[in-house]
Amino acid sequence: MYTVMNRIAVDAAHAPAFETNVVHSFAPLRQVPGLYRVTLLRPTQVGQPYVSSMEWDDEAHFRAWMASPPFQDAHAPPQGQLRDLLGGANVVEHFETVADQRA
């Protein structure tokens, strides 16, 4: 399993529009091979970023998506407008799964 987390600083005033845009952008991801979960997590403390996560079967599927037309579509406007809306810092981190235990 391969997880890509995007840590996104969002001004409180822009948070509702940000959430709406991100949730809207999730729908087409349902069709992406090897991507089995996407989440958007809202911070509970001031100064903490939102975290948007993508959980992949493996890194190869993530790389294939990055090179695909659907990825280009997802990063054309209105995503471009979304980026303008955000303005703040945006840090992407990649992880390999060591353990994944479910109840």
- Write out the residues near a copy of itself by the rule CB under 8 A: 3, 5, 19, 22-23, 26-27, 29-30, 32, 35-45, 48, 50-51, 93-103
Smallest distance from the beta carbon of 62 to a copy of itself, in angstroms?
11
Which of 23/66 has CB closer to a copy of itself? 23
Residue 43 or 74 with smaller CB distance to a copy of itself: 43
Q: Which is nearer to a copy of itself, 68 or 97 (CB)?
A: 97
Give me the phi and psi of 10, to 5 degrees please.
-135, 130
CA angle (49 as vertex; 100, 97 as ends), nearest 5? 15
- Cα–Cα distances (Å) from 34 to 59, 75, 86, in that order, read 9, 19, 28
Minimum Å gap between C-beta 27 and a copy of itself is: 8
Name the region of 29 (left: φ>0; alpha: ψ -120 to 50; beta: rest).
Answer: alpha
Cis peptide before 78 (omega within 30 of 0): yes
Q: How far is the CB of 41 from a copy of itself (least distance, A)?
A: 4
